[in-house]
Structure 1
Amino acid sequence: MTHENAVAVTGLGVRCGAGASVGALWENLLTSRCPARMHAFDTEGTVVAPACPMPEFTPEGYLTAKEARRTDRSVQLAVCAAMDAVTDAGGLHVPAGRRAVVTGTGYGGVIAQESGIGRPDVLYVPRAMPNAGAHWLSVKLDATGPTLTLSTACASGSHAVGEAMQLIRAGRADVVVAGGHESPMTATTALSFGRSGAMITECEDPARALCPFDTDRQGFLLAEAAAFLVLERLDDARRRGARIYATLTGYGSTSDAHHLTAPHPEGAGARACMEQALADAGTPADAVTHINAHGTGTALNDVAEARALTALFGPAAVPVTACKSVTGHSLAAAGALEAVVTCLSLHEEIVPPTANTVRLDPQCDVDLVTARPRKLPAGPALSTSFAFGGHNACLVFDAPRS
C-alpha cells in the first residue's frame, strides 16, 4: 500500500442493543455481557423470540419530531450513530463537496414496509426506501459529494466501509462517513429466519444462546444496530492532529457463485476474499494479529468460515473472536459494527473474548479467544463478513504508524 493510499479511521459511532455508545459496547464485549432477552416482535405478542433490540431508543437531539415521523427506526439509528462518529472525529474538516456518505442496509425501512402493508400513507415510500439513510446523513452532515447505498445482505456494512476507502483512494472524496444500519425487528422477519432454522426461536437463557463455533450452536439472535466510521486521508488526519484509531489498509470483495443462502462448503469464496484484502493491504497472512470473524453461530456458516481460515492461515494459527455472541446478528449493520470493534481492538491492543462458546466444534480448528480478553501486539487485523447471496467482504485494519 502506497503512502498516498493510506486511510485513517478517526471517528466511531454505534447504536445497538449491546451498547448505546462505543464505550458501552466495548465494556460489554470485554466482560462477555450479552443483553439479549425475549422480545415480542409484534404488538399482540404472538411472535416472541430471543433477540437483541435496543431498549429505550429515541432519536431526540439528532432528529426533530417532524424528521422522526418521516424516518424508519433503521434510519434513526443510522443518524445517531453517524453523527456520534463525526463528533468523535472532531468534525468534518473539508468542504461539503469533498464529503461523502456510504451506507449499507439489507432491508431498508423494513418496519415501515411491514406497517404500511394495506394502509400506506404519503410517507410510506420515503420511510421504506433503502437509500433513505444515505439521504438523511447527507443532509445532516452537509455532504454533497458521492452519497451511496449498498445492499449485499450481511456483508453490506463491510462493503460500505471498503467502498468508502476506494472513494478516498480514487480522489473522489477526502472524508467519508461509512457504515451500516438495520432494524429488522418485525414479526415477518423473525418468523422467516426462525422457520429457516438460522435463528434461535426458543432457549432458556437468551444471553447465553448465541455460541459461535460451539458444538451445540443453534443459530443466531436477531438484533438491530447502526455503526459508522469516519474515514479520511492519513496525511490529513495527522496534519490536523486527529486521534487515529487505526488505518484501513485493505479491502476484498468476492462472490461464492454457489447458493442463494448457503455458503460454499469449503469456504472458497471467503478464502479468496481474505486473500484479496490482504493483497490489497500488502500484508502477508502470517503478519495478521487477530481476526474478527463473521461467526454467526449457524451450523453451515461457522464450519465454512473455519475451513477458509484454516486453509489460509493454518490450523488454529491466528486468534479469532466472534462479536455476535454479545451483539447478536444485526444483518447489514454487522460488518460495520465489527469493523468498529476491530479498530478498538487495535487501538487498545486487546481482543475481546467470544462469549458463550464452551465446546469448540472439532470441525472448526480455530484459536478462538474465550473466557477473557487477550492482550496482543499491535499489528494488522482482519474483519470478515459473509452473506446470503454469496457476497463476501473483508477489511484489513492496522495500527497507525508514524
Structure 2
Amino acid sequence: MERAVITGMGVVSPIGNSLSEFETNLFAGHHGIVPIDHFDASDMGVKVYAPVRDLGASRTIPENELRRLDPYCVFGLLAARQAVGQAGLRGHVDPYRLGVFMSSGLGGTETLLGEVETMRQRGPRRVSPLLLPKWIPNMIAGIVSIDMGAHGASISHNAACASSAVSIGEGLRLIRHGYADAVICGGAEAIAQKVVMAGFQNMRALSTAGDPDRASIPFDRERKGFVLGEGGAAIVLESASHAGARGARSFGEITGYGVTSDASHITAPAADGEAIVRSIEFALREANALRPESGDEPIYVNAHGTGTVLNDRTEATAISRTLGDRALVSSTKSMTGHLLGGAGAVEVIASVMAIRKGLVPPTVGTAQIDDDIDIDIVTGAARRAPFSRTLSLSLGFGGHNVGLVIDAPED
C-alpha cells in the first residue's frame, strides 16, 4: 500500500495569496473580514464578508484567458500552480499518472447571475456561449488538468462545505491503491453575491454582526453564524515512493480519511453527533494502522468551527467524545471566513503549517467560550504545544462529515 505525502501547497485567501503571507497572518491572528463594499447592503442584515484582495491574476493569466474563467476557477488555478511549483512536479510525473481532484460547492455563480441579468436586459441571444463552461462546478478540475497537462483522473466532488476535504480524501485513496503517482487536490469558491448572501442570511446561517473583529467567533457564547469568505487552496499529494525517487520534500502526510453521512437533515447537523464521531474514529483508526501513536501527545484539531450555534455545539461534543483532553482546538474560519467548497483544503494547509511550527493558530475574536462547549479552544494568540498529528474536520449541508488526519513527515 502506497503512502500519500504532501509535496506542494498553494493558497488564495482573505488572509493571503501566497503561502508565506497566509502563514504569517494565520499565526499572528490577523483576519481578513471587512465591511461589504461591492454591493449596497443597506437592506441586508449581513454587513461583513471575507474577500480575496490584491490578487493581480492578470499578471500570470492573460486577459483573454481570464475572460473565459469564473473567479472560482481563477482562485483554484492559481492555488494549484503554487502547489505544483512548490512540489517541482512539472516534467517529473507521467501525465497519465497525474490526477486532478479539485472541487467547488456552487461553481460559477457570478457567471450565472451575470448572464441571467444579460438575458433579462438584452434577450437570450445575448447570453454568452461561455455560460455553461464558466458556470459548471466541475470546470475547476478541467481547467487545472488542462493547465498542468494532467491526463489522469480529473474529478470534482460536490459535498457542499466538505467538497475539497472529500477531494483530498479521495486523492489519498487513489494513491493508496496505486492508480496515480500524484494528485492535485483542493477546491475554490467565489460566491460573495448578494442573492447568495441573502439565501444564507434568511436561513439564519450568516453572522449579522457589524464589527469585523467580532463577526466570526466560533464557539463563543455570542456567536451568530459564519462569515462568507472566498478563495481557493490546493495540495499536491504524491506517493511516498514517487516523491522519494525524485528527491521531493515532504511537508506532511495524509494518513487517515473518514467520511460519513448524518442521513438526518438538509442543513442542520444531527443532534447526537454520532456520524461526526464515526468520521473521526474512522480517520484515526486508518491513521493508527499506518502510523501508530502513543496516545499521550496532544492532537491539534482544526475544527469546522463555523460559528453557528448548532454546528459548534454538535462538533465540540463529537471532538470531546473521541479525543477528550488530548484535543487542542481552533477554527481557521475565525480569520478566513467560510470558503465553503474551498474550506477543507485551506484548513489542511493550516494544519500542515501548525505541525511544522509546533503552534496552534488562534480562534481570533472568540472571547467567552459557550458553557455548552467542553473542549480546549485556543483563543487570543497562537499556543505552542508538542504535537505531530492534526485532525481537520469538514462538515457540509446534506449531512456530509469528513475527518482528515495529517501527520508530520517521517524523518
TM-score (norm 2): 0.93
SS of the aligned residue for 1:79 comes to helix
**1:322 paired to 2:319:** no
Secondary structure of 1:360's partner? Answer: coil
Q: Is 1:139 the equivalent of 2:139?
A: no
- The answer for the alignment partner of 1:154 in structure 2 is 161
Q: Does 1:306 align with 2:316?
A: yes
- Shift of the alpha carbon at 1:63? 2.4
Whether contact under 8 Å (1:286, 1:313) holds in the other structure is no
Give the deviation of 1:288 after TM superposition.
Answer: 5.2
Task: Please report how far the alpha carbon of residue 286 of structure 1 lies from its aligned counterpart in structure 2 after TM superposition.
Answer: 5.6
Q: 2:351 aligns with which of 337, 342, 345?
A: 342
Q: Which residue identity is paired with 1:289?
A: I
Deviates more, 1:348-357 or 1:157-166: 348-357
- The residue number in structure 2 matching 1:208 is 214
2:279 aligns with one of 273, 289, 292? 273
Deviation at 1:378, TM superposition (A): 4.1
What does the per-residue CA deviation read over 1:359-382, in whole Å, with 9 as the maximum and x for residues that have no partner? 111111011111221222242210
Q: Would you say 1:197 and 2:204 are equivalent positions? A: yes
Alignment of 1:18-29 (within 5 A): 18-29=15-26
- Offset at residue 45 of structure 1 (A): 7.5
- Per the alignment, residue 32 of structure 2 pairs with 35
Matched residue type, 1:389? G
Shift of residue 188 of structure 1? 0.8
Amino acid paired to 1:201:
T
In structure 1, the partner of 2:170 is: 163
Identity %: 36
1:98 equivalent in structure 2: 97
Aligned match of 1:365: 374
Question: Does the residue aligned with 2:326 lie in a helix, a strand or coil?
Answer: coil
Distance in 2 (CA, whole Å) between partners of 1:60 and 1:91 is 24
> 2: distance between equivalents of 1:298 and 1:344?
26
| Counterpart-to-counterpart distance in 2, 1:317 and 1:8 | 25
1:10-63 Cα distance to aligned partner (Å, 9 max, x none): 101000111111111111111111121111453797656200011233322442
SS in 1 for 2:47: strand
Q: Counterpart of 1:83 in structure 2: which amino acid?
A: R
Task: Kindly indicate whether residue 248 of structure 2 is the aligned counterpart of residue 242 of structure 1.
Answer: yes
Q: 1:208 to 1:33 in 2, by over 3 A?
A: farther
Given residue 172 of structure 2, which amino acid in structure 1 is its aligned partner? M
Do the aligned partners of 2:98 and 2:151 also contact (CA within 8 Å) in 1? yes
TM-score, normalised to structure 1, is 0.95
Q: Offset of 1:238 from its aligned partner?
A: 2.6
Secondary structure of the corresponding residue to residue 275 of structure 1: helix
Question: For residues 94 and 345 of structure 2, what CA distance do their matches in structure 1 show?
Answer: 25
- Tell me what 2:307 maps to: 297
1:53-202 matches, cutoff 5 A: 53-92=51-90, 93-118=92-117, 119=119, 120-202=127-209
Find the aligned partners of 1:46 and 1:40 in 2 and give their Cα distance.
14
The number of equivalent residue pairs is 397
1:179-230 CA distances to partner (integer Å, 9 max, x unpaired)? Answer: 0100011111111111111102341x21331111011111111000100000
1:355 corresponds to which of 361, 364, 367: 364
SS at match of 1:63: coil
Name which of structure 1's ranges 89-98 and 126-135 shifts more when overlaid on structure 2. 89-98
- Please give the alpha-carbon distance, in whole angstroms, between the structure 2 residues aligned to 1:41 and 1:150: 30
